[in-house]
Amino acid sequence: MCRLLGYATNGINLSLKDIIGETDVAQFRSVSRIHNDGWGASLLSQPPEGAHRRDGGAPTPETASNVYRSTVAAHFDPTFDTMVDCGARGGLYHLRLASSNLPLILENQQPFFANGLSFIHNGDISDDEGRNIVDNRDFDIDEDLLLETGGKSDSAIFFSVVLQHVAQGLTLAQSVAQAVADLRIFYPKSSYNCMVQSADELVCLRASGRTDTPPRIADIYERYDQSDYVADYRVIRYRNIRDETDGASGVVVASSGFEQHSEDGWQELHNDQMLVASNQTGEYSLREL
């Protein structure tokens, strides 16, 4: 069970500090005292300098993805300071609290990155007896795509199903929606809150089969004196990005865990609702599953 944050701008490189401010960045980082099973980020930006054939390189892609993952909690990792100062026109941040006792190994840290897509997920894909999908040999997955994710977790399986539908020609948003439909046949009560970033889009989905907070999570938050954030544990909110000084616009989307007041422009993404944003124009729309 994890905390998610993503943003997309109108093509202007902005850091996480630019997007939500230093105070909220510090509060978001403090959540990793609880979600302390590692963290990661994927930032999409224009490369400052392209490669040149004259020195053995080749033309670079239009954009570069800077992906970082660690098994160290963000609260203790000095690289977090560097990443939140990096400008990007699109970004994902993930604070991990491992589900179903899955191993704390680098392969299971998020964001996963494959085929130009970055993926983060908050959820435990398990049945009512607590058996995780990784132990379900009857669930049909493409083993090659699972290997491409590099992961060995329920989230990696979720991502591999998304990749399968992308390969079949569906749009990114359609692929996420169809992956959830496939998984819900077997795991209707699981949480599929996720964010996926491509070179053109940010897709954020809130889709949880339960509205209550898992007792394990409630107990952990109480131990850290953070019970105020338990009731809306599965909630995702979004807010417009507006900066008249440099013309930046776009949207930021985040799990709960730091202050997200309506008077500051935060709005709740409804359950089974998807936000699809361009990280080229900053424009976004809401869709129902």
pLDDT score recorded for residue 57: 61
Report the C-alpha gap between 285 and 203 in whole angstroms. Answer: 10
Average confidence (pLDDT) over 40-45: 95
Binned at pLDDT 50, 70 and 90, residue 105 comes out as confident
Percent of the chain's residues with pLDDT above 90: 67
pLDDT average, residue stretch 47-70: 67
Return the higher-pLDDT residue of 58 and 237: 237
Residue where the block lists tokens 């970082």: 68
pLDDT tens digits along 74-96: 999 999 999 999 999 999 999 99
| pLDDT beyond 70 at 199 | yes
What is the set of domains in the chain, with CATH numbers? Answer: 3-288 (3.60.20.10)
> How much is the pLDDT for 243?
73
| Side-chain half-sphere CA neighbours of 235 within 13 A | 15
Show the DSSP H helices in the chain as ranges.
16-30, 79-83, 143-149, 154-167, 172-184, 215-223
d(CA 19, CA 239): 10
**Whether residue 280 has pLDDT greater than 90:** yes
Residue 202 has phi, psi (to 5 degrees) of: -120, 125
